[in-house]
Each structure stands twice: as structure tokens, then as C-alpha cells.
Amino acid sequence: MTDTSTDTGADGNAGADGNAGAGADGNAKAPTRRSLIGWGGAGLALGAAAAGGAVAAARSGDDASPVAAAAGAPIAFHGAHQAGIATPVQDRLHFAAFDVKTDDRDEFVAMLKDWTAAARRMTAGKAVGDGAYGGLAEAPPDDTGEALGLKPSRLTLTIGFGPSLFEKFGLTDSRPEALVDLPQFAGDNLDRARSGGDLCVQACADDPQVAVHAIRNLARIGFGKVAVRWSQLGFGKTSSTTPEEQTPRNLMGFKDGTRNIAGTETDRLKKFVWVGEKDGPEWMAGGSYLVARRIRMHIEPWDRTSLQEQEDIFGRDKGEGAPVGKAKERDKPFLKAMLPDAHVRLAHPDSNHGATILRRGYSFTDGTDGLGRLDAGLFFLAYQRDVREGFIPIQRNLATDALNEYIQHVGSAVFAVPPGVRDADDWWGRALFSKEA
């Protein structure tokens, strides 16, 4: 629920997807002519889009046709940074946290290699292994099959390693100092069963079936080595990394995170998101740190709140999303015009000594809670160069947030997200696990 703000800049392409086009094995579906026209139509320089694999999708509803064309494209799996961080935010999420079940390091490494190979194929729109049919009739197929015939849908798969992983396999010396266990925050009501995890995979795609398929198949490959601890489906991205798009609304009906870091802002990504070479440890250079929080919204009480109070709580108007006293959503906010406990005021970098994070959260609705209340809210995902300088001070500052009356943090996890997989011989976690124990 933080709102980061800055001047936007469009100085080149996002660093997340350094390689060209599709997967390195070269068999990924080429973008169709129609989709190329679509990209042009979305107002991007075609060359940049193709080279970066970063496809800007206009927010659906406003300009649906370019989205439809671009949504099917693949996003490069290989690159200096993992895709799924600075990549333009896709429409859907399936996030899963896993516990490690083996104490055999070689076995775990073998699984990471198998996962990488499967991720390389799935992000290119291909089936896992020998596919979903045509194999032995007596055995289950390698791929579960529900993504057959679907486009790559800009699927990205992003892996992260939790603090507890470093206790295993003798890796405590490799644990980054920046990967701190999160402190208890005011108002936290965390469910242990929805928190933590030795590792995580964030699957983002424009088609929910593609995202679910990816997690399902990775979980399957992982059986015996890892087990799903908890997972979360998300929809309706609540923040964008593409400032040319309108800021999506959260389930409270508000635009939040208007001035998120854009995927194209190389300088700010370098300053606030990517771990630098001197930050240490070496294996994390080019990586990032992820904080995931399941934030339940008290939807029904919120809906009974007066418009004035709602707008006061956020510090924005509900229609346009403009900061208090301003006319347009993207006008620079004048924080002192807002109430002292307004959300935007407390979350803004100017109130946090410049602390800035990259958000890519999603709304979630897991049905109702047995009392007839919508079990819904925000699945908050924030990437930063150092959790101690990103999420923690911002969240501490939000202790007095007026919004807290209507939300509750019920799940929490933090992960070290290693740098990107460089090429077809590289694999998730190589730099960490290739070190001598």
C-alpha cells in the first residue's frame, strides 16, 4: 500500500530483458505481423520493443486492440536481470512459495536446473519436456496440457530465495546482509501458513491459465525436492511499470502507485532496484530483493465509508486520481495539503528520506471467508535494492496510515531474487550454488 513517486523519464529500454526476442533456443514463436502492428499502435518504437522483448500493453478497456495483439508475445527469459521485475506488468499472477524437502544439495541443484529448462520452454510458449500428448499411453505426460494452443502471453517466471534457504545446504555465509528477516510491523496479523518459504516463483502472464500452468508444472517437477507452502492468484495489476499507461485501480477503487518506477528508467532501476556489484554478496549482483505481503482489505466497511473520508485517506480524488489540490493524476503531489495520516503522504519518498521501491502488486479475491465477507485485497509485491532501505522504513512510516483501519497484513515473505539467467547453459541460482560450500 505504498505510493512511490518521482519524475518519470523514458531514457531507453528496461534492463530486465537484455536479449533479443524469444528464448535462446530459438524456437519460440515469432511475433506475428499483426502483433507487430499492434506494438507500433501502442506508441512504442518498434525496434526497441523487439530488441528488449519488453512489450508495452495499454491498459485493457482503454485501447483494447493493441493489448490483444501484444499480449500473446513472448518475453525473453535470458538477460542480465530476471524478467518479471522491470518487465511491463502483465494482467495476471500466480505466486507460489515453496519449502525445501531434501537435504541433498546435488538433488536440489538438479531440480533448479530442471526448473530453469522448464521455465525457458514455458516462457517461450512451449510445453514442458516431451509435451502433453503423444508419449506412452500408460504414463502421465510431461506437460499437464492446459496451456496447449495458448500464446506465450508475456509469461515471466521469477525465482527468489528466502532467508530460511540459507540455513540449508551450508549457505549461511552466502546470505546477503540486505536479506533481513522482516520485523513485526504495527497491525501485522500474519498467518504462518501464508508466510515465508525457502524459495518462491512469481509467474506473471496476460492469461491466467498460462500463469497457473507454469506454477503447476514447476510444483510437479519439484515434488520430493520442494513442496508448495502457500500460493496466491492475482488479477487486475494494481501498479504499472509503464507510465504511458493509466494507473490501474485497486479494489478500493483508487489509483495507487501512480509514480512507480518505470521499466524504462534505467537510472532509477539501478539506484533503487538492482543490487550493485559492490553491494555484496557477489552472486547477487544484478539481482533484487522481493517483499511479498498479503494485505486483506475490509471491503464492506470500506464501501460504507463516505467519499470524502475515502479521498482523505488516500490523499487523492477518486475520479481522476489527482493528489489533493491538483487537477491531474500525474501532477506532482503537494504533501502538506494532505491530512497528516493520508496514505500517499506517508508512503511518498519525500516522507521516507527518499526510500523508493518498485511495485508490481495484484488484486486478489479468494471467494468469501465463511462470514460472507469478501476475502479480497492486495497481494503486494515490491522489489528493491535493499529491504532495509526500501520496504522496512516505508512500512514503519505507514504505522499511522489512516488506511490501516481498512486493511490488515495477513501474509508476509521476503526473498533474494538472483540475477538473470544469462544463456542456455546458465540456470537459476548458479552463482549461489556453484560456490564451494
Partner 1 sequence: MRPLRLSVVTAATTVAALTAVTGCTEKSSAGEDGVIAVTATDTKCEVSKKEFPAGHIELDIENKGSKVTEVYVLFPDDRVVTERENIGPGTKQKVTAEVKAGEYQIACKPGMKGDGIRQKVTAKGSGKVAKRDPRLDTAVAAYRKYAQAQADETLPLVKVFADAVKDGDVEAAKKAYAPSRIGWERTEPVAESFGDIDPKVDVREDGLEDGQDPEKDWTGWHRLERSLWKDGKLTDRDSELADQLVKDLEDWQNRVGKAEITPTSMANGAKELLDEVATGKVTGEEERYSHTDLVDFKANVEGAEESYELLKSVASENDPELTKELDKQFAALNTLLDKYRADKNGYDFVSYDKVGKDDRKELSDAVNALAEPLSQLAAAVVK
- Radius of gyration over alpha carbons of the chain, in Å? 21
Least distance to partner 1, CB of residue 216, Å? 12
- In whole angstroms, what is the distance from residue 346 CA to residue 315 CA? 10
Segment 44 to 103, residues that bind partner 1, using CB under 8 A: 99, 101
| Contact assessment for residue 297 and residue 376, using Cβ atoms and an 8 Å cutoff | yes
Identify the residue among 7, 103, 138, 173 touching partner 1 (CB under 8 A).
138
Residue 325 binds partner 1 (CB under 8 A): no
Part of the chain binding partner 1 (CB under 8 A), chosen from 43-51, 154-162, 177-185, 221-229: 221-229
- Assigned C-alpha cell, 153: 502471453
C-alpha triplet 75, 79, 81: angle, nearest 5°: 100
Least distance to partner 1, CB of residue 336, Å? 49
Part of the chain binding partner 1 (CB under 8 A), chosen from 14-22, 25-33, 219-227, 269-277: 219-227
Least distance to partner 1, CB of residue 227, Å? 4
Part of the chain binding partner 1 (CB under 8 A), chosen from 131-139, 164-172, 298-306, 346-354: 131-139
- Assigned C-alpha cell, 253: 477503487
Toward partner 1, which CB reaches closer, 136 or 327?
136
Least distance to partner 1, CB of residue 375, Å? 19
Residue 227 binds partner 1 (CB under 8 A): yes
The one-character DSSP state at 163 is G
Residue 178, burial from CB neighbour count under 10 angstroms (0-12, 13-18, 19+)? buried
Q: Which neighbouring-strand residues pair with 380?
A: 293
Element (H, E) at 237: strand 226-237
Cα–Cα separations (whole angstroms), residue 9 to 83, 267, 371, 390 = 21, 9, 46, 21
Residue 137 binds partner 1 (CB under 8 A): yes
Give the burial string for 68-94 (b: 16+ CB within 10 Å, else e): ebbbbbbbbbbbbbbbbbbbbbbbbbb
Identify the residue among 45, 170, 191, 223 touching partner 1 (CB under 8 A).
223
Residue 136 binds partner 1 (CB under 8 A): yes
Toward partner 1, which CB reaches closer, 59 or 220?
220
Where on the chain is the footprint of partner 1 (CB under 8 A)?
A: 99, 101, 135-140, 193, 220, 223-225, 227
